[in-house]
Amino acid sequence: MAQAIDGMRVAPLKRFARVGNGGTPTADEINWGGDIPFVTPPDLNGLDGKAITTVGRSLTEVGARSSGVAQPGDVIVSTRAPIGHIGTAVADCAFNQGCRSVRAGPALSSAFLAYVLVSARPEMESRGLGTTFVELSGSGLASLPVMVPPLGIQLRTVEYLDKETAEIDAFIADQEQLIGLLAERHASKTARVLSIGMDESASVRASGLDHIGVVPEHWSIVPTRRLCTITTGVEDSGNANPAGEYPFFVRGREILRSDSYLFDTEAVMTPGDGQGGTGKVFHYYFGKFQAHQRVYVFKDFSGIAARYFYYYISAFLQPVALSRSNTVTMESLRRPMLADFMVALPPLDEQNRAVDYLDAQTASIDALIADADRSVALASERRAALITAAVTGQIDVTSGRPRIVRPTCEAGSVPTSEGEL
């Protein structure tokens, strides 16, 4: 039988670390644009405990007084929208109310703590509570059970995981670079057809639009409001069912699901919530779907094929949208901007030919992107499983072999008060 880890202790996180709360100052200019990085949940997305090196906004010293403040080595965890993004501060920084900081005590390595919290993401998500939005409270995070081995084993575990995850991360980075190159190729093919059409010999004229340049002379330039109706969903992101699952997706690639809001025609959607998806576009063909209140839905198309509209705003909306969005507190889209977004419009028969051509030309690219996406997902799953196995002692980090762990939590095996931090 494999040997257990001597000295492994199980106790609530608060026995080994302190949890701090965040906040957001008012929009007053005196609070923003200073030298103090301001961390929000999107800034932590994809870090999986690694260093926080890039943030979207910053605070002045005055603004930081209304925020949480973290020190180098503190682990910052998003505890709402969504729960479980994790990064490590490498400098003094502030963070908003969607995050909490965790500062390791002397019995806990900060780097090991980051890996522990990455492993604990499913448990953190299950502890989220709320009706308007689901949030992991400070007490819920502090009471999270963790397994903590002696400090020497923690450091060896960090060394092992740094090496093993670096190899996985390099593979994921290669796949994501491939996805980016394929996406650029996809965008290039699409933009060319949408700007000059299928007949490259046609006479052209200036469109008057910065995002498109010249267009064939017989095309029209039409605002979106004349081509479709624009609505939003009515539900907030916090309306989870009793099992804790959201009845719809509000951000990222999937922003819709079935069982609500029947539309008789096709719909095209873009999120306007500033959570990393602003201006991305999705096309839904039929049936029912439910949209978040910050998702804009384009439907009831007239004079334009829904699929053509999808291709057009996929290619041209996002840069324009981000340049005109409200970025004081978050990126966000406003309906008037979308209603006045100008579309270079060929006749319907040309639209349909362009759609058929683009569907055919981009299908192979989309298949390659899907393959790379699957590889990234599998590698990410392997990474998560490896971290969990290592921090819980299921792997002997000196040999990389499995072992049986019998953690102790009997009297005297864990600190008895927060004063022992």
List, in order of start, the domains of the chain with CATH numbers.
9-171+374-420 (3.90.220.20), 198-345 (3.90.220.20)
Give the model's pLDDT for residue 186.
Answer: 83
Cβ within 8 Å of residue 51, ≥6 positions away: 87, 88, 90
Tell me the mean pLDDT in the region 26-44. Answer: 94
User: In this structure, is the dihedral angle defined by the CA atoms of residues 80, 101, 154 and 90, taken in order, positive or negative?
Assistant: positive
Dmax of the chain from CA atoms?
A: 85
The residue that leads in pLDDT, 238 or 235, is 235
Q: What percent of the chain has pLDDT over 70?
A: 74
As a whole number of angstroms, the distance between CA 274 and CA 325 comes to 9
Give the model's pLDDT for residue 236.
Answer: 54
* Total H helices, total E strands in the chain: 9, 20
The residue that leads in pLDDT, 286 or 143, is 143
Give the model's pLDDT for residue 253.
Answer: 39
Candidates 390, 382, 409; CA nearest to 171 is 382
State the chain's mean pLDDT as an integer.
Answer: 81
268 has pLDDT over 70: no
The residue that leads in pLDDT, 177 or 184, is 177
Sheet arrangement for strand 83-88: 17-21, 99-104, 75-79, 83-88
Tell me the mean pLDDT in the region 24-49. Answer: 94
Give the model's pLDDT for residue 88.
Answer: 97
In eight-state DSSP terms, residue 306 is H
Give the model's pLDDT for residue 398.
Answer: 76
Q: Let me know the angle formed at the C-alpha of 349 by 347 and 352, rounded to the nearest 5 degrees.
A: 110
Residue 282's pLDDT band, with cuts at 50, 70 and 90, is low
The residue that leads in pLDDT, 401 or 194, is 194
Give the model's pLDDT for residue 196.
Answer: 86
Give the model's pLDDT for residue 380.
Answer: 92
Q: What percent of the chain has pLDDT over 90?
A: 50
Provide the residue type at 416 as one letter.
T
Cα Rg of the chain, angstroms? 25
Of the ranges 52-61, 266-275, 324-333, 387-396, which one carries the lowest mean pLDDT score?
A: 324-333
**pTM of the predicted structure, to 2 decimals:** 0.69
> Residue 336, preceding bond cis, omega within 30 degrees?
no
